[in-house]
Chains A and B, each alone.
Chain A
Amino acid sequence: MGQQFEYQLNQPIEGLERSYFTVKELTQRVKKLVEEGFSLLWVEGEISNLRHAQNRNLYFNLTEEEASIKAIIFNDQKDREIVSYLQNGLKVLCWGKLNFYPKTGEVYLIVRRIELLGNGYIEFKKQQLIKKYQHLFAPDRKKSIPSFPKKIAVITSIFSAALQDFLKIASERWEIEVLVYPSRVQGEGSEKEIVQAIKDINLHFYDVDVIFITRGGGSAEDLAPFNTEEIILGISESKIPVVSAVGHEIDYTLCDMIADKRCPTPSAAAQEVIPDKHKWLEKLEHYKKKYKQFLDIILSKKQNKLYQIQLALTERSPFNLLHSLEKDLKQKFYRLNVLLNEVIAYKERKVLNQKISLRRYHPAETLQREFDRLQNYRRRLELSFENYFQFCESRMNSLKSLLASLSPLNILERGYSIVRKLETKKVVRSIEEVQVDEVLEVKLSKGSLLVKVLKTEE
């Protein structure tokens, strides 16, 4: 080969002899172009896609808007301190050489040195200072802020909104003397002014209770003076407690960190450090209520005690005893009465019973009874006699009438007659008893006859 490899765009390719690169040839050519075309160079860009490979090399892309180039920091080339701060989005300046890798067809920037730019640099510097003065940031070094400061000093720009904000809150809040120490709070060298102010206040206004260092928020560059070594040392050397209200609510400056107290804004600093009289008036009102409450408790306790004593006294009153005795007596009297009545009734019943049984055994009573019995017997005897006589009489009468009815005379009266033997007077009932010629007595109703038997007939 070695002929013409390159064609013009407007040249028709049909009909021409085709000469070509092999991939290897092309990559070698590109490698030569890239690696010889650029010597060691500085490249500025933003880190993206940062990753730590297992072989401990560091890979990332350097980007600028849509453009991007791959970069490597080899493990042996790493500046460990800086590398630990690298992160995506950070602006850096890299020094190194371009390398083409034929295997992948990729161009890499082999970085030998890397420097942080912008915020990254500021943050890096901050961290270095924190590391250096670590002991000064210890929480136990922080001085406590007095609860009721009488005199405070404010280091700030006299024309700043920060001072206005601060004084607006401070003015109606407390009986306080505010000394403003005018100082630049941005731009190069302003940290020296601030540190001088701290020193002056400590030396010449030693009755100041709290020093405030304040300014409004700003860019990282604006806040640069507050991230300096001078500030760290100046504040840490102050005998008077320092309150810092510098910068953003989220970003802490070294000034914020080294100060004894940090507040997010100038207004917040005034609110947090200077007592609020309205709050305290409320608190006093609360104390008043509490006093009243406690006194009421004590009073009611004493009252209660008095009442208890009164109660105890009443309980032990002699009248009480008297009343109770009287009551007891009445009860006993009543019971006695009841019992007595019961006994009397019982005795009465017993006497009555005895009287009744006694009467039964009285001699007159017996006599009477016996007399009655006797009388009774007599009556019964008399009655018996009478009855008997009557009975006898009636029997006699009946016998009499029977006798009368049975009397032979009666039969004779009706014409019948009785024949009797003359000598024996024996009544003749049959012919065999008589003989012819025998004389017989015939008894008639009126008189009797002596008759001779002439004949017997059968």
Chain B
Amino acid sequence: MEKELSFEEALAEIEQILRQLENKNLELERAIELYERGLFLIHFCEEKLKKAKAKVEVIFKDEKGFKLENLERASKILKDGN
């Protein structure tokens, strides 16, 4: 199985397919093949977008290095003066 496609890669392919479909003299079989692939990619992107959400973490630095905390805990830690 091919590796998980990124949104950007999918989008690039969607746009490339669009450019190809612009050619009115395309073979019908090829056009349909591209159309189906394009719809598949659009669907893939839509699914990805629907789930899209930001993940927020806070960087803490100490002598040992860096660690990440979620925002709520980080606020608490900072408020309590470490």
Spell out A's residues near B (CB within 8 Å): 147-148, 153, 158-159, 167, 170-182, 200-201, 204-205, 274, 277, 280-281, 284, 287-288, 290-291, 294-295, 297-299, 301-302
Contacts and interface: CB of A to CB of B under 8 A. Distances in A.
Interface of B: 7-8, 14-15, 17-18, 21-22, 24-26, 28, 31-32, 35, 38-39, 42, 45-46, 48-59, 61, 65-66, 68, 71, 74-75, 78-79
- Give the 4 A-B residue pairs with the shortest CB-CB distance, closest first: A294-B21, A175-B52, A277-B49, A171-B54
A159 B76 CA distance: 10
Contacts of B28: 298-299, 302
A158 B45 contact: no
A180 B48 CA distance: 24
Nearest to A173: B54
A133 B40 CA distance: 51
Given A175-B51, A287-B38, A200 B61 contact: yes
A264 to B, nearest CB: 21
A290 B18 contact: yes
Contacts of A147: 8
8 contacts: A173-B52, A173-B54, A174-B54, A178-B55, A179-B58, A179-B59, A182-B59, A204-B66
Contact of A295 (B21, B42, B45): B21
A163 B64 CA distance: 27
Contact of B56 (A178, A205, A287, A302): A178
B55 A158 contact: no
Contacts of A299: 28, 31
Contacts of B58: 158, 179-182
B56 A280 contact: no
B59 A288 contact: no
A280 B45 contact: yes
A205 B57 CA distance: 13
A416 to B, nearest CB: 156
